Amino acid sequence: MMFKLLKQLALGGTGLLVVVAVHAGINQMTGNFHEVIDGQLYRSAQPDGDDLREYVEEHGIRTVLNLRDEDRGPWYQEESQTAEALGVRLVNYPFSSGKGLSVEEAEELALLMETLPKPLLIHCEHGANRTGLAAAIYVDAVAKGSDLAAFWQLSPYYGHVPIKGIGRYAIFESYLDFQRLSDL
């Protein structure tokens, strides 16, 4: 009886992992675009020109915040030219997905996001790690949302896997440090 229960739990857990992985994969293939706060904040993976045009037309995006620290190659030229053609402000706040942010940098990012014209689109390469951290900081410090809503931005739902030793845990630690010190 116990073996049967353990087997069912293992199968259920495996099934849940498969569903999460499929969802994350679909997100990556479709740009990982999500509304965080209607009319204020949206998040995505690296948009191409057509994606950016669609986001501006459908959601009125006025500012794009690029979080990528990679060399600015053709992806950046396309984004920059499209933003300029659409009259959208492009702001760069580059940081590493492998290192995260210090509390001071997270506070600086919160202030920047608070002051930028809305609606705001934030993105990194995949829309999971750096974008998740920025979205969590926004929900917490700018929108004054719940802890659950902020932590959700750093979840497997968007492709972030906050498990020590797997993925980009430094990003998750950055948010924990920011939240702990901002609650004092």
Q: Please write the tens of the pLDDT for every residue from 81-134.
A: 999 999 999 999 999 998 989 999 999 999 999 999 999 999 999 999 999 999
Cα separation, 75 vs 80, whole angstroms:
9
Name which of 49, 84, 82, 45 is nearest 66 in CA terms.
45
Sign of the Cα torsion 177, 66, 28, 41 reads positive
C-alpha–C-alpha distance, residues 83 and 63, integer Å? 9
Q: How confident is the model over 7-51, as pLDDT tens digits?
A: 555 555 454 444 444 445 545 555 799 999 999 999 999 999 999
Tell which CATH architecture fits domain 31-182: Alpha-Beta Complex (3.90)
Please give the pLDDT value at position 130.
97
Radius of gyration of the chain (CA): 18
Average of pLDDT values for 144-172?
92
Could you count the other beta carbons within 10 Å of the beta carbon of residue 142? 20
Q: Which residue has the tokens 């931005």?
A: 153
Domain boundaries defined on the chain: 31-182
CA 152 vs CA 15, 114, 149: distances in Å: 21, 20, 5
In sequence order, which ranges of 60-146 are alpha helices (DSSP H)? Answer: 74-86, 103-115, 130-137
CB-based burial of residue 107 (10 Å sphere; 0-12 exposed, 13-18 middle, 19+ buried)?
middle
- Phi and psi torsions of 60, nearest 5°: 70, 25
